[in-house]
Structure formats: C-alpha cells, structure tokens
Structure 1
Amino acid sequence: MIPILYFALPALGISYVVLSIFFLRRPHLLHTTWAPAFPIRLAAHRGGSGERLENTMQAIENSMAQRADLLELDCQLTRDGVVVVSHDKNLSRQSGLNKDVNSLDFKELPLYKKELEIYFSPGHFAHGSDRHMIRLEDVFQKFPRTPMSVEIKEKNEELIQKVANLARSFDRSDITIWASEKNSVMKKCKAANPEMPMAFTILRSIWILLLYYLGLLPFVSIPEKFFFCFLPTIINRTYFPFSCGWMNQLSAAVTKWVIMRKSLIRHLQDRGVQVLFWCLNEESDFEVAFNLGANGVMTDFPTALRHYLDKKEPRAPASSV
C-alpha cells in the first residue's frame, strides 16, 4: 500500500497542477465568456477630484469632457431621504462642519471648502467655482447613459433601496455598478437590485486571490463583473494604508507579489471581469497598470489619463462621406 501511495500521490498532484494551469488559460472550456457591455479605460475617481472639487457637477462635467468611460461616486443619505454624492459621512473634512450628512436636510448641506487636498496626491489641492453637493438623481438625469460605480459604505437599507430604485427609474440598472468594501452590504445591494452588476468586496477579492494560488479559480463561478484593485506600487508614495512605516513597506512588498500577476488578470478578463487599478495619478503608474494588462485605470486626473491614452491609442481619423 505504501509504495502505491508513494507514486500515486505525486502523480495526482502533478495532474491537478496541469489541469489547473490548463483551465486557467482556457476558461471558456468550463464557463460561458463574453465581452464587456461597456469597456472601461478611463474612470474618474470621485467624479474627477484632482481637477475640480470632488463629487461636484463641475468635476463630473470636466471628466465627461475628457471622455470618461466611468464615474466613480460615493453616496450618503440626508435626514430628509435624499441620496447625495459624498465620500464622507461626516462633513468636517469636506466643508469644515462637524456634522453627519444624515443629520441634515438636503437644503441645509454646507458648501465644500474652497480647496480640498487630493487624497491620492498628498500635498496637492483641488479647486473649483462649484462648491455644491449634488443629488445622485441629478447626475443620473444629466448623464443617463454614462456608466457609474456607486459605492455604499454602510448597511443603510433605506439608502440601498433608494439607489436601486433610482437606477430602475432612469432605466440604467445595466450600467450602474454596485460597489462596497463589505460583504454584508453587498448582499443587501444585490437583493435590492440584482440587475446591477457588482464589483468585488475586500473579502471576495482575498478569496479570489486564495483560489488563484490554490489552483481552484478555474473551477468556481464568479458573479462579479468588476475588480477594482489598488496598484501595490503606489503604497509608500501616494497611498498609506497603515500609520506605521514598516507596515506600509511590508504591505507594498507582499501585495505586489500577490496581485501583480498577468495570468490572474487575463483569467478574470476571460471570465467577463474588468480589472481596473486605482487610484493612479501619474503617467508612470498608468504605464504599470496597462502593461499588466488592466482594462482601465481609475484616476483623480482625467485630463492626464486622457492625454496618456490618446498618445498610446490615437483615434482613427473620421471617414469622409
């Protein structure tokens, strides 16, 4: 018995590895694959918060002038039940008023500060003449066919239901993406409007990476359609997830080794998942992301990314009639 196991176990292990690699490169043999309904190259973070004040209509209009493929937005709910586009629940950083959005009616919301530091470009500030917070409904109405990612940060069922209903009422469920860091929130979102595509949560992202390294990823279903992932090389430069310096260095080294795998990105894409790296504001980072095979990049500076894309992918001249 022992001699049989001595030869059988390694043979089984080798067969498993070969099958895993085979199906990793050929997912169409196990799963139905299709091209994305709306390919994304340029995604505007917080509506394009590096060039105008974040999440204002002026920032969004500026991003759309740069032919943004996706608007990344965060939503909160006011006391009178209005869904507003705001990254923070507390208004202190954005306006100087130390109150939560849900403690005020929409008409009571303060103006944004005259300048706001760009989170992923420390020491740089955005300005704009438009300082008003806006309703998600207004953005949907003005840009009815522009894909948008709507992030829900807390398990607020009223907010989730209102976003779901807005997407339905504007007939844009297919181009409005559910995004959240938390699994528990995403479950509520999917139940509220299952027609809206989902992005990976943090836990689901870790799970997918684990399956990839165990060789099991080709054999499991993937309901998500978007993988929004930070680019590890920006840690210690523009993104500081930990207050301790050595923790940032360790995080950068580990995540760079784990995430920056072309075979993983290619497999997800073959399974109908678009991979976007965030939040990149420099041309060298754009280059790294696209060289890895990413579908697109999320940026605070849509003009800079548009210049990069036009330089790399010049549009064909219009045909004469």
Structure 2
Amino acid sequence: MSPLLYYGLPALGGYAMLSIFFLRRPRLLHTPWVSVFHPRLGAHRGGSGERLENTMEAMENAMAQRADLLELDCQLTRDGVVVVSHDEKLSRQSGLNRDVSSLNFEELPLYKKELEVYFSPGRFAHGSDRRMVSLEEVFQRFPRMPMAVEVKRDNEELIRKVVLQIAALVRHFNRDDITIWASEKSSVMKKCKAANPEMPSSFTINRGIWVLLLYYLGLLPFIPIPEKFLLCFLPTIINRTYFPFSCPGLNQLAAVVCKWIIMRKSLIRHLEQRGVKVIFWCLNEESDFEVAFNLGASGVLTDYPTALRHYLDNRGAAAPAF
C-alpha cells in the first residue's frame, strides 16, 4: 500500500467523523445567537394573497392572524421617502408606466383594484386600501413588529441613499434588534451592514451557495456564520408556483437539483442550533407548510397568513409572545 493511501485514508476518515460529530453538536464550537423573536408566521409583502400587497390593510390583516414577521420591499421616491413597494416600475401595481424614483411620495398612484398573487398564479387579491405607504408609517403603526426589509434597487447611487434612509429610520424607532437586512446581492448587503451593523442580516445568494459548499465539504461546523437568517425558497414549489426560468425543462431540472441539494434536515438542524433562523418562502399551500416544518424550519413566509395561522393552530404551534 502506498504511503498516500496508508496515511491519507485514515486521516480522511478521521476528518469525516470529526465533521459529522461537530455538525450534530455545533454548540461545542460556537455560541448560538439568541433571537428576541421567533418568526413562525411571516407575511410576504404584508400578506399579498388576502389583501393588496404592501398596503396597511394587508399588514393589519396579517397582525390579526398573529403574524410574527412582515416581509417588505423598499424603494426610494424622488423626494427621498422610503416607500414599501416590491417593484421600482409601477406599471404592474398601478398601471402607471413610471418608476418610483421618478415621482415624489405624494404623487405615487393608487394600486390597481386587484393584483395577481405572484406565487399563486391565477389567483387575485383585492382590498379597499389601495394607497402606497412609507416605511416610516409602517414603523409608526407597528413599532415592535419584527420586519425583514429588502433593498431591491440595482442603481448604485439609489442603493446607497435608500440603505442610509432605512438605517436612520431603524435607529430613530429603536428597532435595530427586530429589523432584518435582506438582499439577494452581496454588494448591496455590504452597504446595508456598513449603514447599520447592529441589525441582523440574512444570507445573500452568493453566501447561501458558499454555506452549501462548506456543508458538502464537511467544513461548515468549523466556519463562523455572521448571518442570523436564511430566507430560502422551498425547492418543491419550483415549476408549480415559482418559475425561475422561462423554459419548463430548466424549471423541472432546477426543481430536482435544488431539492437534492437544499432539503437536508442535517443542514437545517445545524444552522438552527447555531442560532440561524431558517425561513422558507413563499409557501401558500398546507402541503408546503408541512414540508417546511418537517424539515425543521423556524418559519414560513406566505401570501396567506390566515391559512398558515390555521395550520399552525391545528399543529399545536403556539404563537410566541413579544
């Protein structure tokens, strides 16, 4: 037997055993972050399946269902107001072919009378409240409600401005511990953390891929994790309610590959034990709620908070007290 095999195989075996040992017992190496809230029920865009997305009426409805988290997207108006809006271009939401950044806050149009629910194609939401609201109004109305605020812009200058505005608002309302930085892009997240490092952050796409790579290499138990939340899509919704690609074949392939890679109980359990809250989005069916919680997720983001509340109550999951 060659020296490489003679010494290498036992070393590799020992490394594998050590990795598995600490994967299951991460608290021997890391002190878990302790959250001040427990996000079981998250309302996506304020609960955009039951009321018009991102309106105060939608958020009030989510609060009535004892939501633990509001997920909101932020844009910046021409006069520097942080507005709660998923889209920068207003055509889908209001029919007006203008950008949020090209209008003052008082010039923003009303939402359409009905909007299709993005993650439930063919289903529409209605509501009596059609007014776009500022983030400051939301903070004033729900001062201790945990929220995840996502910065959607690509324009570097507008990103810098909206991030600084959000950070200032969070500090003003003393919400550093209950407001989560969220962004898909690492470049944006870097600006977010620089503006207010006291706010907990979620994984970007690149950081999520990095964690998966570390997990499969067996290195994850030994690497620090600064993020406190993993907001991740549930792979089983691909090609059913979530269509990331225009080609059906690519969606089918993505569903299979992502399901095999992401849906690992040992990975989710490890992250949870290290204090990282794993939240799957955007789930609107009871069968998907079941899959997410059986995997060990902390919570779910949904467009239908009433349906998720009904599921949690029947499952015996008590809503946390703030």
Give the AA of the match of 1:167: V
> What letter matches 2:216 in structure 1?
Y
1:199 to 195, 198, 202: 202
* 1:290 maps to 2:293: yes
| Structure 1 Cα separation of the partners of residues 4 and 70 of structure 2 | 56
- Partners of 2:98 and 2:53 lie apart in 1 by 19
For 1:118 and 1:314, the matched residues in 2 are separated by 27
In the other structure, the counterpart of 2:2 is 3
Identity over aligned residues, as a percent?
A: 73
Moved over 3 A (4+): none
State the distance in 1 between where 2:79 and 2:165 align: 12
Question: What secondary structure, in the 3-state scheme, does the structure 2 residue paired with 1:173 have?
Answer: coil
Query: Which residue number corresponds to residue 211 of structure 1?
Result: 214
Determine whether 1:125 maps to 2:124: yes
Name the residue aligned to 1:187: 190
Q: Take 1:65 and 1:237, find their aligned partners in 2: how far apart are those partners?
A: 29
Check whether the contact 2:265–2:295 (CA below 8 A) recurs between aligned residues: yes
Instruction: Report the CA distance between 1:35 and its aligned residue.
Output: 3.5
Structure 1 residue 232 corresponds to structure 2 residue 235:
yes
Once the two structures are superposed, what CA deviation does each residue of 1:191-216 show, in whole Å capped at 9, x if it has no partner? 00001000000000000001000000
Q: CA RMSD in A?
A: 1.1
The residue number in structure 1 matching 2:31 is: 32
Q: Which amino acid aligns with 1:207?
A: W
- Tell me the amino acid that sits aligned with residue 300 of structure 1: D
2: distance between equivalents of 1:268 and 1:288? 17
For the residues of structure 2 that align with 1:315 and 1:256, how far apart are their CA atoms? 29
Q: Whole-Å Cα distance in 2 between the matches of residues 31 and 289 of structure 1?
A: 25
Say if 1:160 and 1:248 are closer, same or farther in 2 by CA, change over 3 A: same
CA distance in 2, matches of 1:34, 1:80: 38
Query: How big is the shift at 1:5?
Result: 2.0
One-letter amino acid of the structure 2 residue matched with residue 244 of structure 1? C
Distance 1:274 1:301 in 2: 21
Q: Which amino acid aligns with 1:11?
A: P
1:101 maps to a residue whose letter is: V
Q: State the 1:314 CA deviation.
A: 5.9
| Structure 1 residue 315, shift from structure 2 partner | 5.0
Aligned equivalents of 1:212 and 1:76: distance in 2? Answer: 35
Number of residues of Structure 1 aligned to a counterpart in Structure 2: 315
Give the TM-score normalised by the residue count of structure 1: 0.97
Does the C-alpha gap of structure 1 residues 281 and 174 become closer, same or farther in structure 2, counting only changes over 3 Å? same
The residue number in structure 2 matching 1:319 is none
Deviation of residue 134 (structure 1)? 0.1
Q: 1:174 aligns to what SS in structure 2?
A: coil
The answer for the alignment partner of 1:174 in structure 2 is: 177
